[in-house]
Structure 1
């Protein structure tokens, strides 16, 4: 049967309705494993696959979601944005008082493969300076030079040549890519003609084309690769790339539809001795039964930026006063748990093209003959519009590229002078009366000044423009100075934590997106884009008119800003005195064998879509656990931040 579905504002079309998707799996035949991995998204599957390469160790991965059935809605690129309900978490945020006072729905991947099952398939890494900042914050071995081998290890990169296109969009530096990794990284087998207008318009405004958007060196216009099979033109996700290749190993087991309620520790640990994790409580969702799954070597948390801090707090690791208020016995007082939440604040803006001579992704919804022809082409030759997700031609401008005004430089310099420690900027957990959040506050100050300084560079993208080739120019803040929180409100794992992204609470974040909206208008006013006849809707609430006041644009932002689904930082890899939760070996402070390997460990969010970073970090995490991690400059990173 068929149904009409709007595929978000990124791509709209007809989709097939599947009456049932996913299935339950539990092939665990023993009660105790060497390694227990919690969460089978990108990070969990990478680490589980790499650890189980050793046939002498046993590994189990526990996932709250199910194992997919290779549905078209996951595999075919045209379905990006469909968001099958069986494969996602939906949690409401707290009311966003700094915006319009309303909560937002926050979405995360749920299933074997996690977010890689439902994301936009965009593959980029961020800048070299993003990771040099990680190292400068006290994390030797986590700079760009040490991560590059793992970026390369995770991918098989296949460039693409487009027949009939005068200026080829795919240029690359071979030394920056891998050619034998599990994840296929390539390009669609279709080139939307208005992509040429896009790049020409950006060049008119002195936004340069980046030779290789994944060399970490420049801001500008990008033709980004995707996590896509270059031959079959299907999604290359963590389930297909890492789980399927390892699933047949007798020492590797999978449990699905089970949440982890807590980590258990050895009761014989005393005094100041680091505690030892001995296993986890698995809560089966289909029958509400529980089971103890033991770990002889390590418990490895890979549940993501929202659920990893939840599990830590449920296990007695976090802010002592919060845990005591919920009756949870304290194992380790770590105020950083659940703080430092970062996300790329995003807003959807549309200026629909009126020129009917140019095909566009929106026609896959509004023009049935175009859609049917595209479908036939896809299944007959694996080419055509069904292969081409909307956002391949994008831009990551720097502040210097967007504005010649000294206003933004002055704003950033003033923010650095004041150290960013303004009470209204941060959630109350950072300034609690018992001063438990003082280390987190100090850590934020160091992050704040490093990120603010990087924004002054011509090579540092300040935000992203997602061009959907139909007139949509969505904006996402790449280097936020705002910070949020995620904390439990109950000792029951079935109760969602309180998620406060706190988007745009910092004045610099708000100013950058205000400038970005204005820059959209400049892009659309160039002759190349005017040829597509973009429509400016009447403002001010939720739409953009050509001549809007600053306050009208601010109102649009307050009502429209939400998530880009890139939650990170909530179990940060930082020194203890900077509010850290894990050390550079990814071990939770105060424990001997509990590690974190997902996006929650990121001390500062990279200016990129996070999947390529998550794969690389998890690849290095696996080598850290094995004791064989690459360290280009022993005892420290190879690069320096600004």
Structure 2
């Protein structure tokens, strides 16, 4: 096999797969190499829609990362899972397909000075990526879900949409939200997510979509090598000419594109001599190009659960999750038809994004920089999220079987101002970096966490909700500031939306490592295309943004190298 290609892409997650597919499927058919550290895992049974919540427990498919002890979260180490297989984290994630707010992309375009990141262009790329299935089950009122065809694609490789069958307590719970004063939003992927919606999943007919779908079938000019973790970029002076994987060298005549993510992209760069000089020197790594911003600026979303046991008459969960034979029989049905309980339970969720007037009126908000305040006040930018029907029994050790009839709401706060870092801790390129997101280290995050949880009480204290409660499984002691913040400290989880460690910006910006064309500033022939470059923390679950980031980079490369459009 020839070891020289036109383009080399490192990492097969949503961004890397979008770059690889976007380059390989052009009329000029450049030779493209995609390197993935993990294995292929082509078993269809790894894509059971209702089991998407536990795929990440497959240790062979997960890097198994954790954060450093979090100083502001009772010194807890928090799960920081990342996918290690073809498809990257899309193969182990929870299947939420949300594109965020149109104002996220307007802000991205403003920060980097490039209209290609504005919503009109981003939405066009989203539409090219997806085949949207907007049908809802028979008898379900259109007020819950009525997306416009003009906001969605119909011929892309990713099959996304609503589950074919919903748990029976989902529409009544949406009604509770409406009664509690939360507006319904018929489509959270229109560019305006504000309101309570029904989740658009990265799944169809019980089968999950992953980034591997962008590569199927692979064109002849695309070489995919799995089991190939990359340790470093090969440099000639300040030009990238290839990469090294387990002692084997692969060369690129045109470009190397890193799509290894916010946690591993900085590791590869640092071990190539590109990064904060002080860190590199500490571990005896020769400094080729000092970039203090690399590894800085880590941002993420966080959530905590609210869990109540419910009456037997209000949910069917115990009859399914509490009966091994029922689950086994359902799996056989899924294998035959892609239907049944494994395409129903925890497959359709309620999801909503909301504004918080009490947050924007707070002292903590007023103390933010003017540009950040202006962004957070934009029409479509939410301040927190609620997600319903989360199968929390898989996440609490020794969950009581008699409590399987339960209701779980996850509450997320958005626009975290805490900025963490990923830093070297070894001269060995196979040792992970130290991951410190510094959760809850910023006063604004305290206020956002408190007010989001307090606002969610409008639902859980509503008579239409409480009438079906039997007991409390996980709730704060009270709705005082102190008890709400302590509940976050003790129960906070990462949303695995790591962003911003190789940030995009304008040349000269102190915190910018790549330019608006994804080029690593100061190094020729090297680009970074994944969520590490995002200069905003998008208002969503970020897999969709990762796809569109890769697609945007591919478009720029296709144009620059005159590869011809598909």
With structure 2 as the length reference, what TM-score do the two structures score?
0.91
Q: Displacement, 1:182?
A: 0.6
Residues 604, 197 of structure 1: alpha-carbon distance in 2 compared, 3 angstrom cutoff? same
Question: Cα offset for 1:412?
Answer: 4.4
CA displacement 1:194-223 (0-9 Å, x = unmatched): 112221111122211113211112411011
**Counterpart Cα distance in 2 of 1:206 and 1:561:** 26
Tell me which residue corresponds to 2:376. 455
| Equivalent pair of 1:220/1:396 in contact (CA under 8 Å) | yes
Asked whether the equivalents of residues 37 and 61 of structure 1 are also in contact (C-alpha less than 8 Å), the reply is yes
Pick aligned residue for 2:79 from 94, 105, 125: 105
Report if the CA contact (8 A) 2:454-2:479 is conserved: no
Per the alignment, do residues 534 and 171 of structure 1 end up closer, same or farther by CA in structure 2, a change over 3 Å counting? farther
Q: 2:176 — aligned with what?
A: 201
Q: Shift of residue 607 of structure 1?
A: 0.8
**Unpaired segments of 5 or more residues in structure 1?**
1-28, 268-274, 284-289, 420-448, 538-542, 630-642
Tell me, yes or no, if structure 1 residue 66 matches structure 2 residue 18. no
1:318 aligned partner = 275
- Encode CA deviations 1:286-320: one digit per residue, 9 max, x unaligned: xxxx1111111100000011001111111111112
Over 3 Å counting, the alpha-carbon distance change for 1:322 and 1:547 in structure 2 is closer
Per-residue deviation, residues 145-193 of structure 1 (Å, max 9, x unmatched): 2211111110011111311224552211221111110100121121112
Distance 2:461 2:351 in 1: 17
Distance 2:318 2:232 in 1: 46
Superposed CA RMSD in Å reads 2.2
Instruction: Name 2:394's counterpart in structure 1.
Output: none
Q: 1:486 to 1:604 in 2, by over 3 A?
A: same
> Aligned residue pairs: how many?
542
Whether 1:266 and 2:223 are equivalent positions in the alignment is: no
Aligned mates of 1:342, 1:318 — CA distance in 2: 18
**Cα distance change, pair 351–168 in 1 and its aligned pair in 2 (3 A):** same
Q: Alpha-carbon deviations, 1:419-470, whole Å to 9, x = none?
A: 4xxxxxxxxxxxxxxxxxxxxxxxxxxxxx4343333356421111121164
**Kindly tell me: are residues 266 and 207 of structure 1, through their superposed partners in 2, closer, same or farther at Cα, counting changes over 3 Å?**
same
- In structure 2, distance between residues paired with 1:64 and 1:534: 47
User: Which residue of 3, 19, 35 corresponds with 2:7?
Assistant: 35
Q: How do 1:175-574 residues align onto structure 2 when only pairs under 5 Å count? A: 175-230=150-205, 233-239=206-212, 241-246=213-218, 249-267=219-237, 275-283=238-246, 290-353=247-310, 355-361=311-317, 363-368=319-324, 370-371=326-327, 374-375=330-331, 378-379=334-335, 381-388=337-344, 389-390=346-347, 392-400=349-357, 405=358, 408-416=360-368, 419=369, 449-457=370-378, 459-468=380-389, 470-533=406-469, 535-537=471-473, 543-545=474-476, 547-574=478-505
1:640 corresponding residue in structure 2: none
Shift in alpha-carbon separation, 1:218–1:36, aligned structure 2, 3 A: closer
How far has the Cα of 1:224 moved from its partner?
1.7
Q: Distance in 1 between matches of 2:526 and 2:543?
A: 23
Asked if structure 1 preserves the Cα contact closer than 8 Å seen for 2:364 and 2:447, the reply is: no
Give the Cα–Cα distance (whole angstroms) in 2 for the partners of residues 409 and 534 of structure 1. Answer: 36
Moved more, 601-610 or 46-55: 46-55
Tell me by how many angstroms 1:138 deviates: 2.3
Q: 1:204 to 1:307 in 2, by over 3 A?
A: same
Q: Is the 8 A contact 1:536 1:546 kept in 2?
A: no
Deviations 1:91-125, CA, capped at 9 Å, x for gaps: 22111112212222210111010011111111111
Question: Counterpart in 1 of 2:89?
Answer: 115
> SS where residue 509 of structure 2 aligns?
helix
Residues 121 and 235, structure 1, Cα contact 8 Å, conserved in 2: yes
The gaps in structure 2 that reach 5 residues or longer are: 391-405, 562-566
Range moving further from structure 2, 455-464 or 575-584: 455-464
- CA deviation after TM superposition for structure 1 residue 553, in Å: 2.4
